[in-house]
Chain A
Amino acid sequence: MIEVEGVSKQFQELEALKDVSLSVHKGSIYGLVGSNGAGKTTLLKLLAGIYRQNSGALTIDSQPVFENDAIKTRTAFIPDLLYFFPNFSVQDVAHFHAGIYPQWNQARFEKLRSVFNIEVKRRIKTLSKGMQRQIAFWMSLALMPDVMILDEPIDGLDPVMRQKVKNLIIQDVAEREMTVMISSHNLRDLEDICDNIGILHQGEMLIQKDLDDLKADVHKIQIAFSGDVPPTLLQDMPALYQEKRGSVLILIVRGVYEDIIRSMQSYHPAVLDILPLTLEEIFIYEMGDHGYEIKNILY
């Protein structure tokens, strides 16, 4: 659905994106993670057709995005800094969108009123920052977009509203096969909704992973032996990470779950425990492979 190939973007002397490629399948959610200044917003604004890349290709449905109103009609973009026309009420904004986007769904707009629970006659400038963001979601969802591009959208929403919004998005993804690209500087925000994660650092795509594969693939093992650790164990099973706490050895290993259990048990450990990994931990260990100190990249 969304294809980005070798895209670079320069802001005068600053190279904001360097040869970034990614691909998002229809009906999936792609999480873009990176610290401040990593290039997330730049990449999303390129996908929204606001910026023009210096090189490379960006396509949605195999069509270039820039100056393509057919694609932009099907895309909803919520930027990090929202803009509303001065003195517009919620109703006015809805009316404006209805005039611009042919697939605007008035029924859905009415229906979503119960979710957001904001008086439609209120002027947007009188609303709080979080409420303004809710308006942005409200409008974007009523557009019935095929693609949704969200730049740090959860910021400023209270936990209840966060969950509601996430649910609405997931619902659209499930029912209408909407494709979502979402950015955050925090992995934890994304781990429960994303299918894919990409990490941007200083304009470069460090790593991209399918979360299901990842979680199935990497395991954290606590293992203890009554005697010394058999030396062949680590040769058999090269660890991404190892740590010894007293007699307990903590290993992060990659492989099929059953294989690992079988192989471990062959050494007859005193204790063998397989623990769940958080997304953050997975990335920390994965990135260790790439020679990056993840603690400096993610917070």
Chain B
Amino acid sequence: MTSQQPRAFFALDLGSATTSAALIGHVGGRWRLVGHSCAPASTGADALLESLLRQIHRADPEILEDLGAGRGRGRGSEAILESWPRFVASSAPPRRIAVLAASRRQRNRLESVAQRSGWKVVSASVDDANPMDLARTIFATETCAVLLGADRSPSGDDRKNLPDLAALVAAATRQRPELLVILAGGAAAYEAVFAEQNLAAAAQASAASGSATATATATAPAPTPIPTLAPVAPSTPARDRTDGTAGPEADIASRPPDKDASQSKAAVGQPQAQLGAVAGVERDAEDAPLQAESGSAPVDASAAPISTPSVVAVPELPATHVLLAPDVEAGSPPGSSLQQVLEGLRSEPNDSRLNIARSIASLAYVLDRSMEVVEVGLQGGLVARSEPFGHGHFSILSSHASLVEGSFAPEDPSDEVIDALAAWSTASIDRHRLTDRLNDLRVAPWGNAEGDGATFRLAAAKAALTRLVAAAPEISERPMPELLVAAGGIFASLPASVVTLGIADIVRRSGISQVACDTARVLGPLGTIEDEGERRRLLANLADDILLPMGSLVVPAGVKPGKSAGHLKLKGTSYVSEIELHPGAIQVVDLPSGRTATADLDFRDTVRLGTRGHHFSMDLSGGLVGLLIDLRDVPMRISERPESRRAALEAWQKGMWPEVDE
């Protein structure tokens, strides 16, 4: 490392509810997490970083100087903030896509793919929607994009209704040129309809103003599927598996799954950049009305957000972007090609969720373990899995789903959302109050984090996690991962024990897993490092710091009711403890962070714990919670009656969270 290269950098996760900042520095020959802090999203990043630097200076006055704070342009926090690089990930409010199809069957399939790619979805099909509702859906300014899809070779209803539907969407683009249109599968045959509309609009504009501003349909191929930031990446000595030379570096996830997908990605590239530009205009225009007029007093530009106009004036109407995408069957698993296209169109370059998925893939390679991450945020959630495979484990198999419904406080909560919240709530609250509390949590997501507010947030997070897990069946069908990471501000604010219990309640698969939490929320910012090798080297250094170990989770399936399920013998370096296992119970054994022990499990009956058997022996590592043995049913059986369900949940929760009644 030369003297010019930074010895420290900031990792900022600009979430919708809270902003998290971390300082990562080169200490003792490796990169370490020096400190982290978070604040409501309305707090400016600089103010948060200054506060963080003050705290670090108070704890260790010399560390900042060791990291090079005294060199360069000057001393003090201002100089540090100016000179040290930043890796920034952010989560933007989801945009809405209208999924249109000629038949209900096709609509359902398209809707499922669009939801997994992080769009806020409204859908309609010709055979079950009023034509007026279809038109309203397209003309609504909240709708940013339209996905019109059909089978590769449309037939039946599709064939009959598609021309009218395509004509309606194409005509709507005359009034809403900012609309992005994606023609998937057989709907691509109607591309010419859009070209005609654009040409007609151009001719009209030309006649009106003397110069045509609109252009023809944009379908020209261009590369760059998902642009990434290229900040100053620190270099560091690598671990054994991070030399960056052995084996193919590219993840399976980063390769196009098939020819269709590569074509569609290519087609997406150019308009995506234009879409980003449009988004920039929207932001500027949203800010504009909130700024004071020229000459007035300075107003606080980053004050608590208010709802701003969802659309803005378009002085020069741009041409509509029409993109061709693969049909809903393309890719492996089916739909993955279309998902990739939609995801690329939705996300900003530094999208927090996609970058978390990317960091998890790098960590899976570095740690040589199968990993899953569940992230729950205000604007959505993420579930992702990465695991090494193949000879030498040099390749990584990844899949993920990013869902707006994965939000802990979804906008306009549906009855299903309230039902799920009521199902996980330990308090007896009527539906109206529950809805109001959830809506208020969305308005002020950082507030009321103690006492009954904490139990409510836990229920909201669990309900969101349930939706996420249900939306990614291909991940739920896989075996329990070796490392399970909980991410998102809502988990960071809750006690480790209940977070582990919450994960055990919902990610319910038999097996053994180590549970960790991304408390400092740096997985997103580190995912913005473009170079895979650099990212792996950095994560290899930081893995122990950024993943706070909660403990080991053991979930056997097939435990039969009775007095005793068997015995556990835990052998540490200087102790042996033996515990009786009780069916239906959650048992916790102390195993501090950094310690490992060998566990011998003897079950009375045959159970499934990865494999079927009576006797299992395994090495486990500790954490804040220790070792959690969950002997409840897999899948969990719990009463449907509200009172009994609440009593059961409360009993389990109280065992893990005794302070809850304070």
Asked if A and B bind, the verdict is no
